[in-house]
Amino acid sequence: MINKLKAKKLEQKESYKQNKNHKNKHNQNQNQKQNYSSTHDTDTTASNVDKLPTQFLFTAFILILVGVIMVYSSSYIYAKEVFHNSSYFFFRQLIFSTIGILLIFSIQRIKFDFWYKHGLKIGYFVFFLLLLTIIPGIAPKLKGAHRWLKFGFFYIQPGEFIKYTLLFPAIYLFDNFDKLTNKERLNYTLCLLFPLLILSLQPDFGTFSICILVIAFVWFLSSFSRKFLYGFISVGSVIGIILIFVSPYRIQRILTFLDPWKDPQKSGFQIIQSYLAFANGGILGKGIGNSEEKLFYLPEAHNDFIFSVTGEELGFVGIVFLVITFIILTYLGFKMAIRSQKRPNMILIASVIFTIALQAFLNMGVVLGLLPTKGLNLPFISYGGSSIISNCFAIGLMMSAYKNGLQSESVKTDTSTHVEMENETENEKEVEKKVEVNLPQEI
């Protein structure tokens, strides 16, 4: 009897060992499949994520290249007459574009936490440069306004940079409002209001309006109360209407927009020449370099109204290509914002691309006669060092914020995977203990 029980006990042990070995092999195979699947999915996701910033930068570089070409085509006759060098604006734009591209790759290598931490200081520095523009004797008066600072052979327009440096205090203020002290709230609020005051004194109503809209956009994306946002928009609209009607030249621009043919030789001259440029371009255009409107007919042909010259030389096809390129850039930018895991990163990426798209839309609307005339350039296309360098600076910030957001996502994924593996190991140990307890004891 005892021998039979011992034999039965040995058979149960052998059966348990075989079942355990079989179970271990099955688990190993399952783990290998899961590891391969997760690795394959991770690699696929990573490759897709990596393509997104590359696609965005490639689209931006296309716009920069088109801008350099069109600046030369629209300015070489004017540059020859005024500066006795047909390549004057071309070489300067080429230098600005090169600096901007290098700036993109330099800024994106710096951690976004650095920019976010020192954003208030950067904002105050640009505000100081903006303040210099209204001090008599420092800033030259060009085109009827004090908007530029002269450094050697170059002019800098701080207003082009303030559109992006305002993002840092705006994001921090609206997204952390409940956590800030009253002193900190006041500090960040003044950092937003002072630049707007200076822009209204220059005057630069176009940049002022863009800054207002960008601040409202940041507010909308943040966790701050929407009730105050509606009040802010209402007050801002009233102030904007007041600023329009207290300035006679702004009223004149609205009247010209409604009927440019009423004064075709003065106030309506520029927009009428823009109409003629698009009409002359037709479907395929007259060819690069063959525009007639740039022959001292169309003012600011290489700057604010470069879109008109593009329409005349490249035709409807060229205009559609340029519009679609801006749409693709905007789509990729917002897609990057959606994929970012941190709210400040997401807000900054979305705000930068919103600013670029908004200015492009306003410029095209003005040139096509859909909006009143305003001195806003076309991003990446119009001539101007401050414009292209500030836009490239903003793109570099986007890349830095996007990389930081993806790193936080990968850290979360690795942590969750490690926790799951530990939980599976603990569960296996508990099952083994239960099986050992249920085995028959030796006699």
pLDDT of residue 244: 78
Decide if 212 contacts 204 (C-beta within 8 A): no
Q: Which residues neighbour 8 within 8 Å (Cβ) at sequence distance 6 or greater?
A: 440
Report the amino acid identity of residue 79: A
Q: Cis omega (within 30 of 0) on the bond before 299?
A: no
Buried b (16+ CB within 10 A) or exposed e, 305-316: bbbbbbbbbbbe
Average pLDDT value for the chain: 81
308 within 8 A of 274, measured Cβ to Cβ: yes
Query: What pTM was estimated for this model as a whole?
Result: 0.81
Bridge partners for 150 per DSSP = 155
Q: What residues of the chain score a pLDDT lower than 70? A: 1-50, 143-144, 405, 407-443
| pLDDT reported for residue 162 | 92
Amino acid 214: pLDDT: 93
What gap in Å lies between CA 216 and CA 236, rounded to an integer?
Answer: 10
- pLDDT at position 95: 94
Judge whether 97 and 68 are in contact, CB under 8 Å: yes
d(CA 326, CA 212): 22
Confidence (pLDDT) at 253: 84
Nearest alpha carbon to residue 326 among 22, 32, 64: 64
* pLDDT of amino acid 233: 81
Return the closest-CA partner of residue 201 out of 131, 141, 291, 143. 131
Residues 6+ apart with CB under 8 A from 224: 174, 175, 177
- Predicted confidence at residue 375, as pLDDT, reads 77
Q: Which residues, in sequence order, are CB contacts of 316 under 8 Å at separation 6+?
A: 281, 282, 283, 284, 285
Per-residue pLDDT tens over the stretch 96-151: 999 999 999 999 999 988 988 888 888 888 889 998 888 877 777 776 677 888 87
Residue 155: φ, ψ to 5°: -110, 140
φ, ψ at 176 (rounded to 5°)? -130, 25
- pLDDT tens sequence across 354-394: 999 999 999 999 999 888 887 789 999 999 999 999 999 99
